[in-house]
């Protein structure tokens, strides 16, 4: 019996743990040959350990699938080229990219320049480097799936301005790729995963401190403590986005966790105020805006 991704080549970053691992296992179960990329750092992006990628590869192979590891840092363009090169050498051109790699950094307005660059390189530049290395080839062959991880943080609700900037940038980058390559058999979508991964567990103490300080509500703290569910619940929807069935799903953002899949709204104009044509009416006065912005635009 054929599987939905037979003959496809997938590259999954962050594939040694959590959501990335669950996705790699799921893609392989549907017949994809998978390059499992993971530098093997700690939750704080420190050190390196080949064991993370190796364990995922071993599980895929033991289940009858095809997989090889990549230990490259995909926060660099060179690392991405190496990871893509491994895929091409072992299996052929990359058809599916799922960019899951991430870590925990302090990203408030006291962060150093170095922290800013590390954050942007890992969370945002990673996706650009991956797209540059794979999406044009997908378009030439007439089929491809580019899938990126974003976060609730993109909406600014978690604070951490650098993280918010990076995750919001991921959404815009992905939507632009979707727009540029529509009609070429390539789709690009993002997802916000809700899963009880090691990164989730590493943040619990900080959220408890925020709750104690009154920075988050009791309801939000209770939801955080309850946990979002296992990573395996995220993988099916991500895998579906990589199949032919999702050919018309493009430029979307989904929240996936537990038993829920939700689609985020697009960046649409939701309300306007009208002064009149600029050729026949004067510009707004501040006194006018005092009235119409709160009462008309923001109400």
**Tokens representing 51?**
């064991």
d(CA 130, CA 146): 9
256 beta partners: 193, 261
* Closest by CA position to 148, among listed 176, 178, 189: 189
Domain with CATH 3.40.50.720 in the chain: 9-195+230-268
What is the rounded CA–CA span in Å between residue 231 and residue 211?
Answer: 25
Burial 194-214 (b: 16+ CB within 10 A, else e): bbbbebbeeeeeebeebbeee
Using CA atoms, how far apart are residues 17 and 14, in angstroms rounded to an integer?
7
Report helix, strand or coil for 220: helix
Residue 207 has pLDDT above 80, yes or no: no
Cα-to-chain-centroid distance, residue 296: 35
pTM of the model: 0.88
Read off the pLDDT of residues 122-176 as tens digits, 9 standing for 90 and up.
999 999 999 999 999 999 999 999 999 998 888 887 778 998 999 999 999 999 9
Structure confidence by residue, pLDDT tens digits, 20-74: 999 999 999 999 999 999 996 555 556 567 889 999 999 999 999 999 999 999 9
The DSSP annotation for 28-42 comes to: HHTT-EEEEE-----
Would you report the helix, strand and coil content of the chain in percent, each value rounded to 5? 45, 15, 40
* DSSP 3-state of 203: helix
Could you please state the CATH topology (level 3) that the domain comprising 9-195+230-268 is classified under.
Rossmann fold (3.40.50)
């Amino acid at each position: 019996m054929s599987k939905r991704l037979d003959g496809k080549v997938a590259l999954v970053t962050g594939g040694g743990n959590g959501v990335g691992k669950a996705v790699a296992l799921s893609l392989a179960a549907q017949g994809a040959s998978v390059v499992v990329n993971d530098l093997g750092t700690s939750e704080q992006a420190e050190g390196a350990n080949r064991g993370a990628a190796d364990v995922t590869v071993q599980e895929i192979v033991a289940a009858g699938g095809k997989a090889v590891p990549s230990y490259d840092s995909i926060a660099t363009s060179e690392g991405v080229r190496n990871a893509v090169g491994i895929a091409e050498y072992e299996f052929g051109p990359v058809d599916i990219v799922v960019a899951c790699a991430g870590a925990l950094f302090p990203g408030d307005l006291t962060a150093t320049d170095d922290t800013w660059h590390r954050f942007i390189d890992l969370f945002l530049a990673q996706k650009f480097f991956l797209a540059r290395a794979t999406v044009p080839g997908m378009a030439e062959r007439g089929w491809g799936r580019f899938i990126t991880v974003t976060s609730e943080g993109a909406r600014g609700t978690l604070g951490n301005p650098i993280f918010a900037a990076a995750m919001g940038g991921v959404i815009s980058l992905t939507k632009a790729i979707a727009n540029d390559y529509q009609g070429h058999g390539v789709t690009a979508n993002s997802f916000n995963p809700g899963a009880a991964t090691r990164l989730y567990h590493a943040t619990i103490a900080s959220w408890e401190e925020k709750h104690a300080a009154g920075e988050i509500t009791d309801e939000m703290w209770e939801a955080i403590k309850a946990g979002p569910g296992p990573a395996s619940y995220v993988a099916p929807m991500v895998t579906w986005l990589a199949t032919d069935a999702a050919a018309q799903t493009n430029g979307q953002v989904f929240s996936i966790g537990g038993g829920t899949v939700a689609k985020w709204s697009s960046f649409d104009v939701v309300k306007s105020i009208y002064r009149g044509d600029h050729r026949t009416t004067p510009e707004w006065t501040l006194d006018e805006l005092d009235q119409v912005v709160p009462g008309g635009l923001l109400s």
